Structure 1
């Protein structure tokens, strides 16, 4: 389940961490919408699905197309998902929403994996920079 998002928490997150939260938000909203549809609570399911499409829109706006074809592919995926979510909302079809979860989960997982590796890489990079700095100071002092 997503952590409580306060302004303080959001401002402390990197853009990459915020993207991970957006992916998590999509999955959470879709799972909740499925349950609400099964409970015949269509009004609240509608709210969850609208939030999901809002998140997809935000992700699409944040794409950097100069990064290569992956941006274009993600844009197509986000648009496809948004269209399917609208269709699922109209039909009250939870199976379509399950398909959307199947599509987005591997992307969210890959994003989180890269995020974890990047943290490890940046930490080791910092250690190397500090070591290089310490070495240069030791040479100057000698």
Structure 2
């Protein structure tokens, strides 16, 4: 997926894509451990920890209790995956996969029942336009 396509996605759709990426990296890590390809497993699991970190960073501070709990869950998944990588623990990876699948499924259900009305690019543009209009009104 190229950068232009990503800019067309809403923040909600981007979260869905990140969850999918985390699942792909977790599965690749698990399969690599099973195949005794430890370097490949390390790289895949490192990528999944990076995805969980990005998901945490995307949550706005003081956005409410649900956002705080989601941030804690992403932090837990990051720690779990990090420990799985250090110990090469298939059981820990499977636990992370189960949790991410549940989050992803719930996220997709919410996304389909309440489709985003606009992409992030349009939101940013509208915010910029409002700011410029406010500044022009003041001068």
Spell out, residue by residue over 1:26-84, the C-alpha distance to the aligned partner (whole angstroms, 9 max, x if none): 11110111100100111111111111111111110111243311111112111111111
Q: CA deviation at 1:103?
A: 1.1
Conserved? CA contact 2:12–2:116, under 8 Å:
no
State the SS of the aligned residue for 2:66.
helix
Find the structure with the greater CA-based Rg: 1
Structure 1 CA distance, aligned partners of 2:117 and 2:2? 28
Q: Which residue of 2 aligns with 1:17?
A: 13
Partners of 2:117 and 2:77 in 1: how far apart?
A: 33
* Residues 1:108 and 2:104 aligned together: yes
**Structure 1 spans left out of the alignment, 5+ residues:** 123-142
What number of residue pairs does the alignment pair up?
A: 118
* Aligned equivalent of 2:113: 117
- The one of the two structures with greater contact order (alpha-carbon pairs below 8 A, sep at least 6) is 2
Unpaired stretches in structure 2, ≥5 consecutive residues:
119-139
Which of 50, 54, 61 is 2:57 aligned to?
61
Larger deviation: 58-67 or 21-30?
A: 58-67
- Say if 2:77 is the partner of 1:81: yes
Q: Is 2:20 the counterpart of 1:32?
A: no
Runs ≥4 residues deviating over 6 A: none
Normalised TM-score (structure 1)? 0.77
Q: TM-score, normalised by structure 2?
A: 0.79
